[in-house]
Amino acid sequence: MNNFNTIQALIRDLPVAFDTEQVSLGEAYNRVLRQDIFADMDMPPFHKSAMDGYACHFEDIGNTLEILEVIQAGMTAKIPVGKNQCVKIMTGAAVPDGCDCVFKLEESEQVDDAYVRCTNSKTSMNICYRGEDYHSGELLISKGTIINTPQMAVLAGAGQTAIEVCKAPKITLIATGSELVDPSKKPESGQIRNSNASQVISQLSKMNLEVIENLTLADDYQKLMEAFDAALDKSDIVIFTGGASVGDFDFIPEILKEKDFKIFWDRTGIKPGNPMTFSQKDDKFVIGLSGNPVSSLAQFELIAKPVIYRLMGASYRPLRFRASLAFDYFRKKADRLAIVPVLINEEGQISEIPFHGSAHINALVSANALLEVPLNVTNLKKGETAHVRPL
């Protein structure tokens, strides 16, 4: 039986499926890096003053020092600093050759216009030494990293302006269900608004991905098949929502079989969200999510996101951490990994929010994390710890 752990192992074994492209630094944020980034020079590139103050020889601390010149960031010293001499120096400026100490402005005493003395005989050196952050040739960012804010700064610092990243896969989203109407419409009897499309599109957008087409289709085998064919022609990934289960009108598994797709799994072992397929044929991938909104959200977060990142060559690891429960949790059946929307409160504890199950998407509005209750665990006592994933 496929449970969540086997699925994770299957995801790890998936190949990198999409090509790379070069983007400018300005376009690199939130893309998947597909090259290693090495330092082209030492950082800092020169001995750099960490303070606004005076650069001198440490052995002269305590003496009255002659001020030779003022060095601001971006400039270098013109005159060598000798015995009992110093330069006034600003943060970020290059420390003159031979100087081994910068004493802070706040620890200085002006003797007259041209002379100064350090008031702290135990001053720190206040120098960032050349290469202390990294050396030329050092690996700075590994292939597979999802480029976040710190990586943007490091890329810029390393002079990287043409960066190899994963090409965004072309994705078509097909929400299935004869009961679905567009959010702009008032549902008539038996109908509901399509909320999954917005949900999935926003999930993709967090990954810096877009859908090339967003379709809503009735549970009509023929129409679904035609739309699927058209979608396969122009997309790398087709995401379905709904119709993933075993009902009379749940056509997605049937369509995939008919089309000779390899089905990696069709059950997830998570609750809510058991029926979900992931399948492949050649270089095309299909993700079939549940129709129930909380199920599709949990499936996307726990499974579809790692799948897509893996296919993109990203070394993605979701942020999970243990926190203690502020309530007693109980369930009767523990045959699946339970995913429970919760609120991490200001004390960092997991607190309960009203939640009625897989259709109750508005519960998620007040949630900021998903609690994981492991397989075979029925009880979690207040004060015990469990894994949570921030939303």
- Single residue of 53, 169, 242, 269 touching Mg ion by CB under 5 A: 242
What is the spatial distance between Cα 255 and Cα 360, in angstroms, rounded to a whole number?
A: 29
Contact partner, 160, from ligand AMP, Mg ion, none, Cβ < 5-8 Å per class: none
Subset of residues 282 to 311 that bind ligand AMP, contact rule: CB under 6 A: 290-293
Contact partner, 244, from Mg ion, ligand AMP, none, Cβ < 5-8 Å per class: ligand AMP
Question: Site size for Mg ion, by CB under 5 A?
Answer: 4
What is the spatial distance between Cα 67 and Cα 81, in angstroms, rounded to a whole number?
A: 9
What is the spatial distance between Cα 156 and Cα 110, in angstroms, rounded to a whole number?
A: 39
Contact partner, 175, from Mg ion, ligand AMP, none, Cβ < 5-8 Å per class: ligand AMP
Q: For residues 70 and 77, is the Cβ–Cβ distance under 8 A?
A: no
Q: For residues 251 and 221, is the Cβ–Cβ distance under 8 A?
A: yes
177 binds Mg ion (CB under 5 A): yes
175 binds ligand AMP (CB under 6 A): yes
291 binds Mg ion (CB under 5 A): yes
Q: Return the half-sphere exposure (C-beta side, CA atoms, 13 A cut-off) of residue 256.
A: 26
What is the spatial distance between Cα 205 and Cα 214, in angstroms, rounded to a whole number?
A: 14
- Single residue of 28, 55, 118, 180 touching ligand AMP by CB under 6 A: 180
With contacts defined by CB under 5 A, name the span among 165-173, 199-207, 239-247, 302-310 that binds Mg ion.
239-247
Alpha carbon 27 to chain centroid distance? 16
Instruction: Give the full edge-to-edge strand order of the sheet including 211-217.
Output: 211-217, 171-176, 237-241, 284-289, 275-281, 262-267
Contact partner, 208, from ligand AMP, Mg ion, none, Cβ < 5-8 Å per class: none
Q: For residues 180 and 191, is the Cβ–Cβ distance under 8 A?
A: yes
288 binds Mg ion (CB under 5 A): no
Footprint of Mg ion (CB under 5 A): 177, 242-243, 291
Footprint of ligand AMP (CB under 6 A): 175, 177, 179-180, 192, 194-196, 241-245, 247, 250, 290-293
